Amino acid sequence: MQQPSICVYCGARPGNDPAYMDIATRFGAALAAQDWRLVYGAGDVGLMGAVARAAQDAGGDTFGVIPTHLMQLEVGKRDLTRFVVTENMHERKKVMFMNSDAIVVLPGGAGSLDEFFEVLTWAQLGLHAKPILLLNANGYWDPLIGLIDHVIDQGFADASLRALISVVPSPEAAIATLRDALS
């Protein structure tokens, strides 16, 4: 495979605990250290900005995709290796997904959840087999994992849904899991 591209979904805000920005910074640097390309939403705010700056600072390849209407709100980061402006959110998600080999979800809000559930449901339907990781920093995603288990317990999804998600506790564990999955 050529240089793997890792799509990162994460918060446009920093969150209340500095640990979240720290995780994002460590993960951006770790991607660059592997010489893997970061694909993300091209914002310079919150965890998004932290991942991208860290990857850039470590000499990594960065590919950002942002819809035109978010250029101001999310501070479009024009100095990425590649910077693409789309017409709308749907195009943004499509370009990010099509240019990625795996997806990693860091702590984030409704936008990150939307992106996570979209790739998860596509995997459930067999539309792709790209690895999907939840970077569970500080147990942030525990309630989400509990919800997915509940959905399965109550008979609204097959148990195989859970197996589509790799839950990892740290950037280092994410890199190790990706390395196995992509080899």
Task: Establish if 112 lies at the interface with ligand AMP (CB under 6 A).
Answer: yes
Query: In the complex, what is the shortest distance from the CB of residue 109 to ligand AMP, in angstroms, rounded to a whole number?
Result: 3
Q: Which stretch binds ligand AMP (CB under 6 A): 109-117, 121-129, 144-152, 161-169?
A: 109-117
Task: Establish if 14 lies at the interface with ligand AMP (CB under 6 A).
Answer: no
Q: Which residue is nearest to ligand AMP (CB)?
A: 111
Whole-number Cα distances in Å, 124 to 119, 120, 127, 152: 9, 6, 8, 13
Residue pair 77/106 in contact (Cβ under 8 Å)? The answer is no
DSSP assignment string, 107-169? S--HHHHHHHHHHHHHHHTTS----EEEE-GGGTTHHHHHHHHHHHHTTSS-THHHHTEEEES
Residue pair 93/59 in contact (Cβ under 8 Å)? The answer is no
Strand pairing category for 62-67 and 37-40: parallel
- Applying the rule CB under 6 A, the residues between 113 and 172 that interact with ligand AMP are 114-115
Query: In the complex, what is the shortest distance from the CB of residue 30 to ligand AMP, in angstroms, rounded to a whole number?
Result: 20
Task: Establish if 76 lies at the interface with ligand AMP (CB under 6 A).
Answer: no
* Total residues at interface with ligand AMP (CB under 6 A): 16
Pick the closer one to ligand AMP by CB: 147 or 176.
147
- Contact residues for ligand AMP, defined by CB under 6 A: 11-13, 41, 43, 70, 74, 89, 93, 108-112, 114-115
